[in-house]
Amino acid sequence: MGVSEIQQSTIAESEAANTLAATDPDLWRLIQSEQHRQATTLELIASENHTSPAVMAAVGTCLTNKYAEGYPGARYYGGCQYVDGVENLARNRAKELFNCQHVNVQPHSGAQANAAVFFALLDQGDTYASLVLADGGHLSHGMKINISGKYYWPVHYPLNYDPQAKDFEQIDYDAVRKVCLEHKPKMVLCGYSAYPRVIDFRRFREIADECGALLMADVAHIAGLIAGGVHPSPFPHCHVVTTTTHKTLRGPRGGMIMTNDEALAKKIDKAVFPGIQGGPLIHVIAGKAVCFGEALKPSFKQYAKQVVKNAQALAGALMDKGYRLASGGTDNHLMLVDLRSRDENLTGAEAEKWLEAAGIIVNKNGIPQDPRPPRVTSGLRLGTPATTTRGLEQEQMVQLADWIDQVLTGKGSQSVTVDVRRQVEALCERYPLPH
């Protein structure tokens, strides 16, 4: 972006801010408070990131006014010549980024993308195989209160629970094969929301082929790592791939579906619209186009590499302080911290609250075979996409581990919390949000 473009963007943002502040001061104060919170805290939630100003600018444009039911060249409304260009730009960039032949950028979220694939490829009551939520899956992968568990029939493959095994708490591919051969699912689902290891898509495809199933990957968490070349691609092994466009991909909140199968592509497009959605959010699709364009630049590969380096540095520093990590570490952007190894009475809910007071934002998370309920948990899920976006590197990750340990061993005491909070704010000043 050139100087004149930056100036124009700044002027436009300032004018929009002044209008909103005058029109709705109550909302404006809340937005300003949230902006301040993000600017002065360190985000370690693995599913969150900080978008570029360009992504936010695209999402806040006049495109929000346009109805565009249908697809480019086949809309149910007039006046779509320019929004067709926006959607085609997003689709073409995504195809280049992930080296695939067909992309649907209309899903409003990752869960919507998953629901569309289920609707396209399964009939009500059909069996599919997935990892259970408690072991790192997602609610849209078969949780009983979700449509994926109410209208379809999930069977779950386990992690390896043998503590003597090299792949302890990792995907047990032999067990996956056994479950699939026993139940003959119509679809096998891989890709997770709390799994710190590399996924062997080739092995999953072998299992799917053996049992006559389609293979679906939900790469919402690792899409940016795949785009950046630090995690294997699900293509050509998977029949269909879903993802979010935020998280490691660093775009606006939204979903996407990809495939190289022409017949499946037609079914998926019909499932998204008119199957489960109406008009697409063209302003968000514009933000996706920006994000894909950014991810195609060489600098994004460096970013993805640094995300993994930072995660491994944070993981190593926490283990040095006596914390046990599920599966013994991480290969990607996230880790699951078993708090009981440091204090058997410490819960994820307590740790989340104490760390937030100190300016370190995390989420409580169950660990494999967690005896505590989801609202309490024995663990934390930590991730490095957002801190890496700010420019933090391995040295700062070691410092973060020390602050985390100070707060948790201090049991949220005010003196420790205030001291760490002050240091966090100072670090945030040195490494500001994208601007």
**Domain span at 290:** 64-295
274 with 332, same domain? no
Is 218 annotated as catalytic? Answer: yes
112-139, pLDDT tens digit by residue?
A: 999 999 999 999 999 999 998 888 888 8
Which of these three, 295, 329, 345, is where a domain ends? 295
Please check whether residue 142 is in contact with residue 153, taking contact to mean a CB–CB distance below 8 angstroms. Answer: no
Residue 196 lies in a domain: yes
Residues 36-43: what's their mean pLDDT?
A: 98
Residue 257 lies in a domain: yes
Quick count: other Cβ atoms within 10 Å of Cβ 171?
25
Residue 98 lies in a domain: yes
Catalytic residue among 218, 269, 338, 350: 218
The Cα–Cα gap between 304 and 365 comes to 24
Catalytic residue among 67, 151, 173, 431: 67
Q: Give the contacts of 170 (CB within 8 A, at least 6 positions apart).
A: 159, 160, 197, 327
Is 405 annotated as catalytic? Answer: no
203 with 221, same domain? yes
Residue with more model confidence, 141 or 352:
352
Residues in the chain: 435
Q: What are phi and psi of 50, to 5 degrees?
A: -115, 120
Whether the model clears a pTM of 0.85, i.e. scores above it, the answer is yes
Q: Tell me the Ramachandran region of residue 66: left when phi exceeds 0, alpha when psi lies from -120 to 50, beta otherwise.
A: beta
338 with 227, same domain? no
Residue 164 lies in a domain: yes
Is 127 annotated as catalytic? Answer: no
The DSSP letter of residue 171 is: B
Residue 421 lies in a domain: yes
Angle at 292 (CA atoms; ends 146, 266), nearest 5 degrees:
55
Question: In the structure encoding, which two tokens stand for residue 193, read together?
Answer: 């929301």
Looking up residue 153, the CATH number of its domain turns out to be 3.40.640.10
Question: Model confidence at 140, in pLDDT bands (50, 70, 90)?
Answer: confident
Residue 291 lies in a domain: yes
146 with 282, same domain? yes
Total domains, the chain? 2
Which of these three, 240, 267, 295, is where a domain ends? 295
Quick count: other Cβ atoms within 10 Å of Cβ 134?
16
316 with 274, same domain? no
- Sign, CA dihedral 235-237-238-239, equals positive
Q: Give the contacts of 80 (CB within 8 A, at least 6 positions apart).
A: 66, 68, 72
169-216, pLDDT tens digit by residue?
A: 999 999 999 999 999 999 999 999 999 999 999 999 999 999 999 999
- Residue 9, pLDDT above cutoff 80: no
Is 244 annotated as catalytic? Answer: yes
Residue 52 lies in a domain: no
267-285, pLDDT tens digit by residue?
A: 999 999 999 999 999 999 9
Question: Model confidence at 1, in pLDDT bands (50, 70, 90)?
Answer: very low
305 with 276, same domain? no
Catalytic residue among 66, 177, 186, 247: 247
210 with 328, same domain? no
The Cα–Cα gap between 369 and 222 comes to 23
pLDDT at 19: 86
382-417, pLDDT tens digit by residue?
A: 999 999 999 999 999 999 999 999 999 999 999 999
Question: In the structure encoding, which two tokens stand for residue 356, read together?
Answer: 């937030």
Catalytic residue among 93, 253, 288, 390: 253
The Cα–Cα gap between 53 and 43 comes to 18
pLDDT at 134: 82
Catalytic residue among 13, 40, 61, 69: 69
The Cα–Cα gap between 361 and 381 comes to 11
Is 356 annotated as catalytic? Answer: no
Is 177 annotated as catalytic? Answer: no
310-355, pLDDT tens digit by residue?
A: 999 999 999 999 999 999 999 999 999 999 999 999 999 999 999 9
Question: In the structure encoding, which two tokens stand for residue 57, read together?
Answer: 């600018």
